[in-house]
Amino acid sequence: MPTSRLPTVEFDMVKEALIAFGIVLVLVLTAAAVLGGPYSPAITVRQVARSHPRMLVATAMRDLLGTSRIARRGPPYQSEGSYQHLGPLAPEKWFGVTRPVNPPKVDVLGPLRRAAELNPSVGAALTRWNGATTTEQEGWGKSFLSALRTADVTAGGRILLPARKVTLSGPLPVMMQAELDLARAGLLAAAINGPGGVYHYSVQDSLLFLQGEVLHKLAGQRNLLGSQWGILHEEGPYPGPWWVAPYSFLYQIPPYSTSSNGDLMAAGTMGLLFAFLLLVPVLPIARDVPRRVRVYRLIWRDYYRWIRGGDPRTRMRSETGARGGRSEGAAGHAP
């Protein structure tokens, strides 16, 4: 069998892999010890209640009245509401309600029923609310939200409304004060998530309670909004997930940034791009691009220089050996 004319070098792949793994491991451990984790503690309902009490109460009010974003979200949380679609393509509608959520009951009325077991005034307020007509409830809600915008909140978490607004707001001042008290005590999140036995892993409802204005405002303060390239940004000076850069880029340009179906459009675009990359080896035109562009010849230029005209270093050694009376095989051409 003819001996290969290409120069060869012994290479221990296992040894090189272990060395590389050891170097990377040391670098990772060192960076973790020096820099720590890039994540801040999770935002909790209690934290929001203590730092932004008016915002938390307003969120609870919108949930109670059914006007919050989650109450109007549609699938997978409610059967009615908006959903993203591109013509007949509507995955949210196809799958329907898979995570049912009832914001008035889960976020407000349920927790307040627990509070009523210790505070009779809360029970009386709930009875009055449940016995009122929809028109009365909407009137109370409108009056309370109007007064809440300028209401004072004491350091102890007491909501101070004008006496006239208290009367026009019906049972809501008592109900919302109890809601805020639960949140400040750190009990509201558990009451929203509901009983779950000894171990409770689902925190869906308490997370959805904070979505909308609360998380949007806090994310804006930390430069984490989509309009701030937040999808690529971690809190602090740390880099974010670079692999979602194409999605973040799409969110910055129309129509992705202006359409209510932007998420579905971005996901669909990236899905088509990924499918194209998978099919490149079998697509007649795409698979010929590397051969036509010939970038591989630039990458392997040393090999092609050797195989076409002989390696100049080998030829120089051969010529030197010939002049010195030594016989060395001249570099030949590959068949």
Integer CA distances (angstroms), 38 to 31, 41, 207, 240, 242, in order: 11, 10, 21, 9, 15
Of 224, 245, 298, 169, the C-alpha closest to 38 is: 224
pTM above 0.75, yes or no: no
Q: Determine the Cα angle at 175 with ends 113 and 209, to 5°.
A: 75
Q: How far apart are CA 48 and CA 215, in angstroms?
A: 10
Q: How far apart are CA 242 and CA 326, in angstroms?
A: 58
pLDDT in tens, the chain (335 residues): 555 566 677 778 899 999 999 999 999 999 888 877 767 778 899 999 999 999 999 999 999 999 998 888 889 998 888 889 998 999 998 999 999 999 999 999 999 999 999 999 999 999 999 999 999 999 999 999 999 998 999 988 999 998 888 889 999 999 999 999 999 999 999 999 987 666 777 888 999 999 888 888 888 888 888 778 777 877 776 677 888 889 889 988 999 989 989 999 999 999 999 999 999 999 989 999 988 898 988 888 888 887 776 554 554 444 444 444 444 444 444 33
Domain coordinates of the chain in residue numbers?
Answer: 45-213, 222-282
Structure tokens, 53? 């009490």
Read off the DSSP letter of residue 329. Answer: P
